[in-house]
Amino acid sequence: MFVVSERTGESAGIRIHWREAGTAPVLYLHGVPTASWQWLPFLERTGGVAPDLPGFGGSAKPPDFDYSIAGYDRWLEAFTDGIGYDRFSLVLHDWGAVGLALAQRFPERISRLVVLACVPFLPGYRWHRIARMWRTPGLGELFMATSTRWALRQISRESNVTAGPLPDWYLDQTWRDFDRDTRRAILRLYRSAPSDVLAEAGRRLGDVRCPTLVLWPTDDPYLDAAWGQRYADAFGDNAHLEMIDLAGHWMWLDRPDVIDKVAEFVG
């Protein structure tokens, strides 16, 4: 087991908070609305680095940042250069899919890739119910302005298969980070990505030729199980798909063996 430490620094002119352990070159990218803390059990097993993306967690949330796939792609290039990651494994969940933009531009830098229930950078995806509200001007702002921890707890009941809401520690961490600036970042990110932008963002997934593991839950309310196969097909012969039965969006909370699967693959 590795000891996880917290670091701060600057990347592309933005103050950044990240977690790191050991020396293994593994980059973990979180989704919405979490931050690097979601990767703690993975970092303890494999080592690596998990940043709070701009707009999330303990990182800065500047109003003039480009909260889009292209904006995060440029930022990730600067961040990985800054920490000396010339070649590394990449582990992605949800909107951590922005790392796929970097992988397509620099496939030679990615040694191994793990895709865990990521936003589909593929043709034909239709946003889920909550995302459609966030993407709607006015309605999204109203949703964010009236959000409460109680409402977050109730919504989380649909996220995973295990009965009840997500664990209290998970909800506490999420709510702590869910300030006005993070809510603004979420709205901008979702509104930057209509279906044609998502499809274009994954147009060159076949250029990523490293060994790829796609782990996809069977019971994700936001991302249908069929998208796991679609991703595996897009990556081609180097990809292996494993469906995770009886698991929801944060699949390792339902199935802790997912942590073992990732550790074995990147280790």
Mean pLDDT of the chain: 97
The enclosing H or E element of 115 equals: strand 110-118
Domain range enclosing 178: 5-266
Domain at 92, CATH number: 3.40.50.1820
The model carries a pTM of 0.98
Residue 123: per-residue pLDDT: 97
**Please, which residues have CB within 8 angstroms of residue 142's CB and are 6 or more apart in sequence?**
none
pLDDT above 90: residue 267: no
pLDDT digits (tens, 9 = 90+) for 10-29: 999 999 999 999 999 999 99
- Pairwise CA distance, residues 11 & 217, whole Å: 33
At 178, which amino acid appears? F
pLDDT above 90: residue 168: yes
Task: Fill in the DSSP letter of residue 161.
Answer: S
Cβ proximity of 1 and 43 under 8 Å? no
CA atoms within 13 A on the CB side of 31: 16
**What tokens appear for 54 in the block?**
């701009």
- 3-state class (DSSP) for residue 147: coil
Quickly state the pLDDT bin for 187 (edges 50, 70, 90).
Answer: very high
Phi-psi region of 148 (alpha: psi -120 to 50; beta: other; left: phi over 0): beta
Q: Can you tell me the mean pLDDT for 66-84?
A: 98
Q: How many domains does the chain have?
A: 1
